[in-house]
Structure 1
Amino acid sequence: MWRNKEIQAYLIILILIVAAGCGVAFIFLSTSAAALVFFTSVLLITSSFVFTSWRYREIGQLSDYLRRISNGDYTLDVRDNYEGELSILKSDIYKVTLMLSQQSSSLKQDKSMLTNAISDISHQLKTPLTSMTMMADLLSDSQLSESKRAEFTKNILNQLERIEWLVSSLLKLSKIDAGTVLFKKEDVPLHKLIDRAVQPVMIPMDIKEQTLSVEGDRTVSFSGDFQWTAEALINILKNCVEHTPVKGHISITFSENPLFTEIKIKDNGSGIPKEDLPYIFRRFYKGKNAGEDSVGIGLAMAYSIITSQQGDIEVRSKQGSGTEFHIKFYHHKGRGSSD
Structure 2
Amino acid sequence: MRRYFINPELRRSTTILLILNVFFMTAVLLNLKMYHYNLKQDYVLTFGAVTERIYRNNPEIAREIIPVITAGADEEEAQKGKHILEQYGLSEKLENELFPYINKSALRENLNIILIFISMLIIFFLLNYIQYGYFYERIRRLNFGAKKIVEGDYDISIGEDREGDFSKLSVSFNSMREIIRNNLNELKKEKQFLVELLSDISHQLKTPLSSMIVYNDILLNKQLSKEQSRNFLISSRNQLYRMNWLIKSILKLARLDARAIEFHMKGQSLNETIKYSIEALEEKIVSAGVQVKFHEEGEIVFYHDRHWLCEALINIVKNCVEHTQRGGKVDVCVMENPIYKRITISDNGEGIGEKDLPNIFKRFYKARTSKSSDSIGIGLALSKSILEAHDGIINVQSKLGAGTTFRITFLKY
TM-score range, shorter chain: 0.7 to 0.9
Q: How far did 1:248 drift?
A: 1.6
How many residue pairs match? The answer is 310
Structure 2 residue aligned with 1:271: 351
Query: Structure 1 residues 281, 62: closer, same or farther in 2, change over 3 A?
Result: same
Task: Give yes or no for the alignment of 1:281 onto 2:367.
Answer: no
Task: Give yes or no for the alignment of 1:309 onto 2:382.
Answer: no
Q: Which runs of 5+ in 1 are unaligned?
A: 1-20, 333-339
Q: 1:136 corresponds to which letter in structure 2? A: N
Structure 2 residue aligned with 1:118: 198
* 2:229 aligned counterpart, secondary structure: helix
> Counterparts of 1:127-142 in structure 2 under 5 Å?
127-141=207-221
Of residues 243, 253, 261, the one that matches 1:163 is 243
Of residues 279, 283, 293, the one that matches 1:199 is 279
Structure 2 residue aligned with 1:68: 148
* 2:281 aligned counterpart, secondary structure: helix
Q: Which runs of 5+ in 2 are unaligned?
A: 1-23, 36-108
Query: Structure 1 residues 215, 108: closer, same or farther in 2, change over 3 A?
Result: same
Question: In the aligned structure 1, how far is the partner of 2:267 from the partner of 2:404?
Answer: 30
Task: Give yes or no for the alignment of 1:262 onto 2:342.
Answer: yes
Higher relative contact order (CA 8 A, sep 6+): 1
Structure 2 residue aligned with 1:153: 233
Question: In the aligned structure 2, how far is the partner of 1:305 from the partner of 1:90?
Answer: 40
Q: How far did 1:126 drift?
A: 1.4
Structure 1 residue aligned with 2:267: 186
Structure 2 residue aligned with 1:105: 185
Normalised by the size of structure 1, how large is the TM-score? Answer: 0.80
Task: Give yes or no for the alignment of 1:253 onto 2:333.
Answer: yes
Q: Based on CA coordinates, which of the two structures has the bigger radius of gyration? A: 2
Percent identity over the alignment is: 34
Normalised by the size of structure 2, how large is the TM-score? Answer: 0.67
Structure 1 residue aligned with 2:135: 55
Q: Deviations over 1:119-159 (max 9, x none)?
A: 11111111111111111121123611222211111111111
Query: Structure 1 residues 175, 113: closer, same or farther in 2, change over 3 A?
Result: closer
Q: Deviations over 1:38-63 (max 9, x none)?
A: 32222212331243234334423432
Structure 1 residue aligned with 2:44: none
Query: Structure 1 residues 176, 183: closer, same or farther in 2, change over 3 A?
Result: farther
Give yes or no for contact 1:221–1:261 (8 Å, CA) kept in 2. Answer: no
Structure 2 residue aligned with 1:323: 404
Query: Structure 1 residues 79, 162: closer, same or farther in 2, change over 3 A?
Result: same
CA RMSD of aligned residues (A): 3.0
